[in-house]
Structure 1
């Protein structure tokens, strides 16, 4: 594919607001996970014994008056993330060059504003005929759909190009890069705002717990003792633009791979066939060899099956020099936002040369390596310049996506 310039990128997670907060915490080995404190009133009495990656400050966000009717936790985080790292200034520059009609919005989410739907059901009222109805402040149909996020960001930015919300579980905000690349390649638009937002809610916490996937402890990606994931929330964006100058110093999005192995609703293919297909396709589309990849941000949820299968797929495709790690010990599994957050981590590795290891080990700091992991799986951080970085995001139902990023013409800025 023709590479696309990345004009700005950002993430807001349990580590803080903006990419500097992410980079500083990664380098310091400081996790954003904490004991579950999500929920108020009766919900607090039913809290799960687990650890979560909760974003501070969402409760204090006040949406502008013209967006207040769209208020919910997910849209507040979407607004908060939009304010970071020059995203709005970058959008203004893109609008000046191309016009609002030539910029797409492609966003990923898993549960979108379902937290508002939960609240609406707990506060049901009765109409004049005695039938149950949502309370007046939540009687907004679009708020209770997956496209709530895309609609909100379109209203918040004033963009008039195609507006798409992708909901493919945990690969959602990785697949947005591929969708945007196709829109630009087809000439439909010249640039795109991509990203994703997902927030904590009862359906997420108790739903994953019902599947037996939630750990009572901070998650341990690729550790032999791993017993489940830590859930989190996050939001992030990137600005993509057609690349017209090969000497452009901006980092680049240069390859994507997608597969749908459909092996099982919630379990990956035991040999990692879909994961390997997605990675191989991304590398081929980027026009590079597997050995050209310096860092791979793994999906690495810390569930026994996922990590084993991903490690097998990585070992079958890459040489021993690859540095691959999961960063979910820092922020938790942010579901539909995982793709954009971990793409930001991959871009930070390109920009700053810091390749994170993994968090979540015992008090001694010593991991217990799983024999299924090849030498590519790294528990310790490293510092070195790399030319290419990748991100893996794998969702329920076998919805897999892998992305390749590259340094710009002049290397790190």
Structure 2
């Protein structure tokens, strides 16, 4: 596919605000997980919580969208020159030629939970949300996209993708199609998800949450650690022979095997990875780093590792970075794409934090230790509930 230039990119996670906070924590093997301190009755687990959200209210002009999720979106948008890159794209192409495509899984459901918890009775004796939460848009999945449209002034197509944990990986594919079709010339893509009771207790009810920090691909792994995060990238049609970081391929599939479990043979994951490589025009052996979905649940990791071993040579360096941030759900795609871009930029191929004993069922591609070496190609896998899968290939301009 024609390359898409990445003009700016950023992530805000439990590791800190912005790309350098992420890169520094990865290099130092300094994780961001803490004992759960979220909510009135914290579940006994570990979480990746972003500091500073409580101290960052939205500007008065955007107060109608006030909620934890949109606060994190606003905080993440201020990092790493994102707004300046977006303003430059608008100046070049016009606001109506710049798309906004963002992903989330729960959006601002935390505000809805608060509305139910603080429900009152109206003059007719009917239960209702308190006045400060009677803002209908905040209680929809499109809360994030609508907020960002008003916050940025972008006037092109505006979409909120909600495909569980693949959400903010699929935004890259959606934006690439819009650009390649000539609908727009640039796009702001990204994703935001924040901690809330529905996420913590819902995943726990499914038996997927560990009481300890997650250990992806470890022989004794027993579940995931949940986190929150936000991140964005500014994409634009690349000029011929342009240098710099680029989106070079994407692959999407839906194996629809089960509501929450992946296909036992990894068919959907394999389809997504093969399609991403095909669009990039490269063989599996060209990939230097693969950021795995790697949630630390027993079934997910084993199935993904099996699919990777069947497709890639033993030389691949593949790892999960969820031991640093927790599983950030609808924001995982953008966060882990940023980690893949850091690998391309800095040559830091991260290992897998907290894990010590490799699962013998996993292939040699799964690495626990860092490696420092330049690479021309990096990938990211993001797989969601219902078998909704997305793989992305990133490269450097001029890479062959």
- What TM-score, normalized by structure 1, do the two folds share? 0.96
Instruction: Report the counterpart of residue 123 of structure 2 in structure 1.
Output: 128
In 2: Cα distance, 1:87 partner to 1:343 partner: 16
- Select the residue among 217, 225, 232 that pairs with 2:227: 232
Displacement, 1:368? 1.1
Q: 2:200 maps to what in 1?
A: 205
Give the whole-Å Cα distance in 1 for the aligned partners of 2:272 and 2:12.
27
- Alpha-carbon spacing, 1:88–1:297, altered in 2? closer, same or farther (3 Å): same
The answer to whether structure 1 residue 389 and structure 2 residue 363 are counterparts is no
Shift of 1:383: 0.3
Aligned to 1:345, what secondary structure does the other structure show?
Answer: helix
How far residue 62 of structure 1 moved from its aligned partner, in angstroms, is 2.1
Deviation at 1:249, TM superposition (A): 2.2
| TM-aligned CA deviation for residue 244 of structure 1 | 1.7
Q: Does the alignment pair 1:267 with 2:256? A: no
Other-structure match for 2:245: 251
Partner of 1:23: 23
Alignment match of 2:101 (pick from 93, 98, 106): 106
Q: Does 1:50 align with 2:45?
A: yes
Indicate the SS of the match to 1:271. coil
Q: Which whole-Å deviations, capped at 9, do the CAs of 1:315-358 have from their partners, x for residues lacking one? A: 00000110000000000000000000000000000000000001
Q: 1:320-339 maps to which residues of 2 (within 5 A)?
A: 320-339=314-333
Hey, what does 1:317 align to over in structure 2? Answer: 311
Give matches, 1:101-180, under 5 Å. Answer: 101-180=96-175
**What is the CA–CA distance in structure 2 between the aligned matches of 1:323 and 1:373, rounded to whole Å?**
13
Question: What pairs up with 1:346-357 in 2 under 5 angstroms?
Answer: 346-357=340-351
Contact 2:103 2:160 in 1 (8 A): yes
The correspondence for 2:335, drawn from 331, 341, 365, is 341
Deviations 1:279-319 (A, max 9, x none): 00000011010001000000000000000000000000000
Q: Does 1:38 align with 2:27?
A: no
1:177-234 Cα distance to aligned partner (Å, 9 max, x none): 0000011111100000000000000000000000000000000000000000000000
The yes-or-no answer on 1:376 pairing with 2:365 is: yes
CA root-mean-square deviation: 0.9
For 2:42 and 2:21, how far apart are their aligned partners in 1? 28
The residue number in structure 2 matching 1:291 is 285
For residues 75 and 235 of structure 1, what CA distance do their matches in structure 2 show? 10
1:88 and 2:83 equivalent? Answer: yes
Q: Secondary structure of 1:389's partner? A: strand
Equivalent-residue separation in structure 1 for 2:180 and 2:255 (angstroms): 26
Aligned equivalent of 2:392: 403
Aligned residues: 400
1:85-138 CA-to-partner distances (Å, cap 9, x unmatched) read: 000000111011100000000000000000000000001111111000111111
Partner deviation per Cα, 1:373-399 (whole Å, 9 max, x = no partner):
111000110000000000000000000
In structure 1, runs of 5+ residues without a counterpart are 362-366
Distance across 2 between alignment mates of 1:389 and 1:320? 16
Deviation digits for residues 35-90 of structure 1 (CA, Å, limit 9, x no counterpart) = 00011xxx2xx211100000000000021111012110000000000000000000
- Cα deviation for residue 410 of structure 1 reads 8.8
C-alpha spacing 1:54/1:346, structure 2 compared with 1 (3 Å):
same
Q: Distance in 2 between matches of 1:267 and 1:349?
A: 29
Aligned equivalents of 1:142, 1:83: Cα separation in 2: 23
Distance in 1, Cα, partners of 2:221 & 2:259? 21
